[in-house]
Structure 1
Amino acid sequence: MAYFTAVLSPEGSGDDRDWRSVDIDLEAGSPDELGDALRGAVDDDDVPVLAVLEREDEWFALVRTDGGVDVRVFVSDAVAAADSAYAPLFAELPPAAAVVGEDGAEGGAGASEPDEDEVPATRPEPPVVEDVWAGDPELLTDLGCPAEVLVRLAGSGADPSAATVEIGEVLGFADVLESLR
């Protein structure tokens, strides 16, 4: 499966904001290492820099830095991203949600199974899978993309490239993103 990466930075503000691509190779590493690379890619430390990462058919991630501000990250599927080349970037994010069974106990590989002699009186409900996104869903709010959009796209199971294009349409960088593909 292939990765797609793009680094973008806005010029101007508000409705007059134009996005441009920034030529930088994204190396897998910690958020601080990636933040240093993003900061070094633009001349103005106060300008936000946004890295868009996609793993074909699996997940998308957004990494943002603004000058001296800490790097902020959002990933649509922390479980899948943990097995990727970019795993160090997501290692410090809160853990992904667990699968929760009907009794409220966490399930998964270590969950206990009922004894063979036990026959359930009713058919058990399928487990509820909580959201698996992680990070800061508000990292684009001040630019015009509400947290609800990121969370909805992460939970919808949308194709990662379609999700990032939708985010790009909200913020105005969809054309630039598509030109980089």
Structure 2
Amino acid sequence: MAYFTAVLAPEGSGDDRDWRSVDIDLEAGSPDELGDALRGAVDDDRPVLAVLEREDEWFALVRTEGALEVRVFVSDAVAATESAYAPLFAELPAATGQPVPTPEDSDAADAADDDADGQDDTGDAAGDTGSRGGSGVAEDVWAGDPDLLTDLGCSADVLVRLATSSTDPAEATVRVGELLGCADLLESLR
């Protein structure tokens, strides 16, 4: 599966805000490493926004602004921990405030459940697992800071709703782009 990445920086403010793309290769690394790269791509304290998508799986938004800490939001932290960008999501708190479970954690929990009852807990008779892939992970597997775009026009509620209800990461990031006023630019970069 392919990745899509884009780095955007706003110029102006409010209704007069325009966005421009920033030419930078997004390397996998910790939030601080990515933040340093994003800050180095602009020459002032403007916000810089990185958009990452893993085709058909998840989207992530990374924001930094001047010396402020890097803020990250990912729609599916469990799937993202298996990606090339896993270091970026390793320390994020999950939607429940608990650490993000890694795929290994889920496998270990499944194995412990199997050992405890001698069965493979894959769901009820109707085939409903109640989780993604039967791994025992709740449907709300987003992680990070859902408020990272509130001041730019995308509320936390909207971001969480897109993360939990959209099956197409590209569709979700386009919707975010519409709210921020950069959808056309984002689409032109695809």
TM-score by length of 1: 0.85
The aligned amino acid for 1:71 is V
1:138 aligns to 2:142 (yes or no): no
1:71 aligns to 2:73 (yes or no): no
1:150 aligns to 2:150 (yes or no): no
Structure 2 stretches lacking a partner, 5+ long: 94-98, 103-108, 120-124, 132-137
Whose radius of gyration is greater, 1 or 2?
1
Match of 2:182 among 154, 173, 180: 173
Taking every aligned residue pair, what percent have the same amino acid on both sides? 75
The aligned amino acid for 2:100 is A
Q: Is the 8 A contact 2:58 2:80 kept in 1?
A: yes
Q: Is the 8 A contact 1:51 1:62 kept in 2?
A: yes
> Which whole-Å CA distance do the structure 2 matches of 1:136 and 1:48 have between them?
15
The total of aligned residue pairs comes to: 167
TM-score by length of 2: 0.81
Residue 110 of structure 1 is matched in structure 2 by 112
Q: Is the 8 A contact 2:74 2:143 kept in 1?
A: yes
> Which whole-Å CA distance do the structure 2 matches of 1:19 and 1:111 have between them?
50
Q: Is the 8 A contact 2:63 2:72 kept in 1?
A: yes
Q: Is the 8 A contact 1:97 1:132 kept in 2?
A: no
Structure 1 stretches lacking a partner, 5+ long: 99-106, 117-122
The aligned amino acid for 1:73 is V
Cα offset for 1:85? 0.2
Moved over 6 A (4+): none
Higher mean displacement: 62-71 or 88-97: 88-97
The aligned amino acid for 2:169 is P
The aligned amino acid for 2:112 is G
SS of match in other structure, 1:63: strand
Q: 1:115 to 1:86 in 2, by over 3 A?
A: closer
Give 1:118-129 correspondences, 5 Å limit: 128-129=130-131
> Which whole-Å CA distance do the structure 2 matches of 1:97 and 1:148 have between them?
23
